[in-house]
Structure 1
Amino acid sequence: MAALMIQGCGSDVGKSVLVAGLCRLFANRGHVVRPFKPQNMSNNAAVTEPDEDGRRGEIGRAQALQAIACRTPLTVHMNPVLLKPQSDVGAQLVVRGQVEASYQAMAYQARKAALLDVVLDSFRRLEAEADLVIVEGAGSPAEINLRTGDIANMGFALAAGVPVVLVGDIDRGHVIAALVGARAVLDETDGAAIQGFIINKFRGDPALFDDGRREIERRTGWPDLGLVPWLAAARRLPAEDAVVLDRAVEGEARRVRIAVPILRHIANFDDFDPLQAEPSVDLIYVPPGNPLPGDADLIVLPGSKATLSDLAFVREQGWDIDLLAHVRRGGRVLGICGGFQMLGRSVSNPDGIEGEPGSAPGLGLLEIDTVLSGDKVLEPCSGQTLDGAAYEGFEMHMGRTTGVGLDRPLLRRADGSGEGAVSADGRVSGCYVHRLFDSGAARAYLLAGLGAASTAEDHALQVDRALDEIAAVLETCLDVATLARLAGLKEPTP
């Protein structure tokens, strides 16, 4: 079967979007395509279909998007190794969708080499069912200090025999140095595995960079496979890396202002992408060191990979005081997943599932208590808002929540049971449902409670249109015939 790997000169050079666009491009040509990323690091994840043992798992959000681009269900084999950061030097290791353990960075370096067989097995499974597998690397192969035991870039590519295309991001500058520098530090074997390069995120007249592209070819010996313009449609796709939050800025003044504090271990912040696309909403991400805006109509506490740690972080930032003042002024608060847990009376972590064992009082805005114990909940969910608007999403969390606050649910599940909790005055609410805002009807209901109108369009339709737009652009700016040939894909004769 055919395969091609897209690696980059660094993180956030646009690999995930390019892979998604190429998946949709070749799927639109009638091929059976599958996405694959050997190792990912992200706290934005999605729940998969059941595996061979009937268990659902989790994979990085980028691979979930790429599966959508391929028009295929999500499986754990699309991202067999997922690292979910819990601290600056530690992460939870998820192997084929299931939590294995938490590792400090140095300890994981010793563990990862043994995961190569798992990664290769998952890749071969996808390869057997597809015409083409498009693989995404992680970080950069030029990080040669991480080359020993590598399973994310060249270590995988050479073991699997997959040709590589290297992507440079011209928007951040020094793209010539990035590509030529990568060639300089890679050894001969790794350098020879790279079959060409792509320049990404170009703005302006492409002719102005013709000399630069020729110079990269001359200095690296790699063929030029295309120059991709700035893809405006990518803004409508879910983002995976929290680096995008570092550049989050306030939008123009709009009817309703919704604020999301950027927690230290924020997770699944793509839950709020549908709100960002609403013309009636001014969605702002509040970075550490800044107070929560006093004029916000709604403050949303997002998901967290380390609930107790981020609860302490909320207090460290003074955001707990801001939240209480916001509620006293008549403002509304919504918590999703970890944020929902923080809004309760207490959070306990007796078994050290998320960081060190311990417990702490919650923010006291909901009459619930959470104990972080038991198996991780990984399951799709659906139901209705209290006015009957349908929603679909998924749960992905540790812990069990109890308390009288659950007697006032925010939502109704498909089986008629309640989901989430609402305070007695109706100003504070929360639930475990990720992707709640994706449903146009449910989003319209929730925004109506703030006095805002909604497009009421399902977010999946917006994402699907964006993928088709990106695929159409890539058809015109990339040497698609050469990419197919390098992958070993037999294209139908026109």
Structure 2
Amino acid sequence: MTAKTIMIQGTTSDAGKSTFATGFCRLLARRGLRVAPFKPQNMALNSAVTVDGGEIGRSQAVQALACGVEPHTDMNPVLLKPNSNTGSQLIIQGRAVGNIDAVSYHAYKPVAMQSVLQSHARLAAQYQCIVVEGAGSPAEINLREGDIANMGFAEAVDCPVVLVADIERGGVFAHLVGTLELLSDSERARVVGLVINRFRGDPALLQSGVEWVEQRTGKPVLGVLPYLNGLHIEAEDSLALNRPQGEHAPQQTLRVVVPVLPRISNHTDFDPLRLHPQVELLLVKPGQPLPAADLIILPGSKSVRADLASLRAAGWEAAIARHLRYGGKLIGICGGLQMLGQQLHDPLGLEGEAGSSAGLGWLEMETTLATHKQLTRVNGHLTLGAAAVSGYEIHMGVSTGAALAQPAVRLEDGRCDGAISADGQILATYLHGVFDQPESLAALLQWAGLAAPQPLDYPAIREAHIERLADMLQQHLDLTPLARWLP
């Protein structure tokens, strides 16, 4: 079996490539096709653990869900997780191989391309169709040499490209025409269709523009896709600071505050809270005071010591201490757990300059960063009422200390995870996805002060939104021009 491959590229970052690819995967899976997602190179701090025990970008894990298959490291062979303004942790086929700066990575791209092509070939032997998501824009002149993320990959495997543009940004026709003009002749030829995304209003008002761009470029417009109010598809990396549009204001509110750290990671942990009708979720950026809250959550971080320093510089340490004095609850997840201890050690300089930092000191434990990264999908039960929980671990730290004798989670593999403070105010866990399951979400909200949490089944909601997205594509996308490139 050799799969058909089709690539989704965008005229800009955040044009809707990930969302479109997710819906397109489900649309093809509905036809009974064996479909796999693929992204040659991803730069994101939201990641997921795969069935083969590796790490890929969160968007490809969601796309795998849309395909009805388990996420695999071959679906995102190159993942860059930024840990400074100029450098990233480099993950190849699911495994961290070290840190790399932008200049060095440019020189490394030919090596990375070999991993990309190996992974694509393995998927092509197993599936009927591969839906590939590009990164950023294919028209970034300074990134074109040695490109593995957009047209460089498309040329290497000789696949067609669908170009997506976001009309919400304005200038959609300039984006489409300008992008095509900046491509080489061979690259331009492989663009087989255009998509205009996130349109609000009557499509008839856009028809003259659609006809013009088709005549100007010679490319068919496959669809004008409407803006979907309240659509929830887990984000690749962008962080929404407000509730989804169309959502009602919460009733019987539990206020949850998350300090947004510079290297916040896996913020999809908070999506169930964002969607819960009784929760007011506030994501607070540096420079803003932490408002009064029932629960504060310290999120995951790609650079824990640096983010802890940022937390202190923002004045948030004193605000959290005051929150605890007045009886508020506090959760630390992954990097947030590590911050809650007494010391943070990075003797090898894995996340920056080698050294140690004083933790916040609210739990009797300390953490030492080590080269081995824990990548595990887990199931277990919270020690709060034995509520079922599932999630995944992605961390390089080893935590030890007396606080861990009172764990937050008991795992099915016999291990214990995290800690609950003696006074019951602080809970710490390495588990990402701790709010995803209905039982654990309800137990944690009740612990935080919500007397009667309404049930919320986040996996079911996620599935319903993928279906809604695919329904929209089925109605508004013309696949006829793509027929020769599909199984």
Which residue pairs with 2:10 in the alignment?
A: 8
Specify which of 382, 389, 392 is matched with residue 391 of structure 1: 389
Q: Deviations over 1:312-370 (max 9, x none)?
A: 11011111111111111111110000011001111010011112211100011111100
For residue 243 of structure 1, report the CA deviation from its aligned partner. 4.8
What is the alpha-carbon distance in structure 2 between the residues aligned to residue 141 and residue 311 of structure 1? 36
Q: Does 1:177 align with 2:179?
A: no
The within-5 A match list for 1:187-226 is 187-226=184-223
Amino acid at match of 1:446: L
What is the alpha-carbon distance in structure 1 between the residues aligned to residue 63 and residue 74 of structure 2? 13
1:234 match: secondary structure: coil
1:148 match: secondary structure: coil
For residue 395 of structure 1, report the CA deviation from its aligned partner. 0.5
Amino acid at match of 2:215: R
What is the alpha-carbon distance in structure 1 between the residues aligned to residue 239 and residue 428 of structure 2? 26
| Residue pair 1:233, 1:470 contacting (<8 A) in 2 also | no
Which residue pairs with 2:48 in the alignment?
A: 46
Q: Deviations over 1:209-255 (max 9, x none)?
A: 111112222222211111111123532x2112235459999984641
Q: Deviations over 1:360-413 (max 9, x none)?
A: 000111111000014100011111112121111110000100011011111211
Which residue pairs with 1:26 in the alignment?
A: 28
What is the alpha-carbon distance in structure 2 between the residues aligned to residue 246 and residue 106 of structure 1? 36
Amino acid at match of 1:265: R
For residue 190 of structure 1, report the CA deviation from its aligned partner. 1.5
| Residue pair 2:294, 2:449 contacting (<8 A) in 1 also | no
Specify which of 238, 242, 260 is matched with residue 238 of structure 2: 242
What is the alpha-carbon distance in structure 1 between the residues aligned to residue 81 and residue 12 of structure 2? 19
Q: Does 1:341 align with 2:343?
A: no
Amino acid at match of 1:393: G
Which residue pairs with 2:149 in the alignment?
A: 152
Which residue pairs with 1:464 in the alignment?
A: 463
Name the count of aligned residue pairs: 481
Q: 1:441 to 1:140 in 2, by over 3 A?
A: same
Gap regions ≥5 residues in structure 1: 51-55
What is the alpha-carbon distance in structure 1 between the residues aligned to residue 340 and residue 80 of structure 2? 27
- RMSD over aligned CA atoms reads 1.7
Gap regions ≥5 residues in structure 2: none
For residue 188 of structure 1, report the CA deviation from its aligned partner. 1.4
For residue 422 of structure 1, report the CA deviation from its aligned partner. 1.5
For residue 121 of structure 1, report the CA deviation from its aligned partner. 1.2
Q: 1:98 to 1:206 in 2, by over 3 A?
A: same
2:9 match: secondary structure: strand
Which residue pairs with 1:81 in the alignment?
A: 78
Percent same amino acid at aligned positions? 48
The within-5 A match list for 1:412-431 is 412-431=410-429
What is the alpha-carbon distance in structure 2 between the residues aligned to residue 338 and residue 248 of structure 1? 26
What is the alpha-carbon distance in structure 1 between the residues aligned to residue 188 and residue 313 of structure 2? 47
1:461 match: secondary structure: helix
User: TM-score normalized by structure 2?
Assistant: 0.96
Specify which of 62, 71, 84 is matched with residue 65 of structure 1: 62
More divergent stretch after superposition (172-181 vs 61-70) = 172-181
Q: Deviations over 1:461-483 (max 9, x none)?
A: 11111111111110010012333
Amino acid at match of 2:238: A
What is the alpha-carbon distance in structure 2 between the residues aligned to residue 142 and residue 454 of structure 1? 48
1:232 match: secondary structure: coil
What is the alpha-carbon distance in structure 1 between the residues aligned to residue 319 and residue 341 of structure 2? 16
| Residue pair 1:169, 1:200 contacting (<8 A) in 2 also | yes
